[in-house]
Chain A
Amino acid sequence: METILEIKNFNFTYAGALEPSLKHIDLPIHTNKVTALIGPSGCGKSTLLRAMNRIHDIYPGHTYEGQILLWDQEAQKHNNILYLEKEDDMIALRQKVGMIFQKPTPFPMSIFDNVAYGLRLSGVKNHSELRDRVEVALRGAALWEEVRDRLKENGMGLSGGQQQRLCIARAVALKPSILLFDEPTSALDPKSTRAIEELIEELKQEISIVIVTHNMQQAVRISDYTGFMYLGDLVEYDTTENVFNLPKNELTKDYVMGRFG
Chain B
Amino acid sequence: MQNRLKINKIILFLSTAAAVIGILFLLWILLTLIVKGVSTIHWSILTEDLINGGIRNLLIGQFVMAGVASVIGIPVGLMAGVYLREYGRNMKLVNFIRNLSDVMMSAPSIVIGVFVFALMVAPVNSFNGWAGSVALSIMMLPIIISTTDSMLSLVPNELREAGMAIGGSKHRIILDIVMKSAKVGITTGVLLAFARIIGETAPLIFTSANSAFLTFNLNDQFPSLTVAIYNLANYPDEASRNLAWSASFVLTVIVLSINLTGRFLTTHKKRN
Contact = CB atoms under 8 A, between A and B. Distances in A.
Interface stretch (A37-45, A87-95, A213-221, A245-253): A87-95
B162 A94 contact: no
A121 B168 contact: yes
A170 B159 CA distance: 13
Interface string A43-70: 0000000000101001010000000000
Contact of B162 (A60, A87, A167): A167
Contacts of A58: 160-161, 164, 170
Nearest to A122: B167
Chain B's interface: helix, strand, loop or mixed, by majority?
A: helix
A122 B166 CA distance: 9
Contacts of B160: 58
B180 A171 contact: no
A94 B165 contact: yes
A141 to B, nearest CB: 14
Contact of A118 (B161, B167, B181): B167
Contacts of B163: 107
Contacts of A109: 180
A101 B162 contact: yes
Interface residues of B, number: 21
Given A101-B158, A101-B161, A121-B172, A95 B177 contact: no
A95 B163 CA distance: 11
A98 interface: yes
B102 interface: no
A105 interface: yes
Nearest to A107: B177
A contact residues, range: 20 to 34
Nearest to B179: A108
A105 B162 contact: yes
A108 B167 CA distance: 17
Contacts of A105: 156, 158-159, 161-162
B170 A87 contact: yes
Contacts of B164: 55, 58, 94
A143 interface: no
A170 B166 contact: yes
B3 interface: no
A107 B161 contact: no
Contacts of A167: 162
A31 B161 CA distance: 25
A103 interface: yes
A105 B177 CA distance: 11
B215 to A, nearest CB: 44
B169 interface: yes
A22 B264 CA distance: 50
Contacts of A103: 156, 158
B180 A118 contact: no
Contact of A55 (B89, B165, B177): B165
A5 interface: no
A174 B169 CA distance: 15
Interface string B180-202: 11010000000000000000000
A108 B177 CA distance: 7
Contacts of B180: 107-109
B170 to A, nearest CB: 7
A4 interface: no
A139 to B, nearest CB: 18
Interface of B: 89, 156, 158-170, 172, 176-177, 180-181, 183
6 contacts: A95-B166, A101-B158, A101-B162, A105-B161, A117-B176, A118-B166
Q: What 5 A-B pairs have minimum CB-CB distances, sorted nearest first?
A: A105-B162, A118-B166, A99-B165, A95-B167, A91-B167
Interface of A: 53, 55, 58, 60, 87, 91-92, 94-95, 98-99, 101, 103, 105, 107-109, 117-118, 121-122, 167, 170-171, 174
Given A95-B166, A105-B156, A118-B167, 5 more contacts: A58-B160, A87-B170, A101-B165, A105-B162, A118-B168
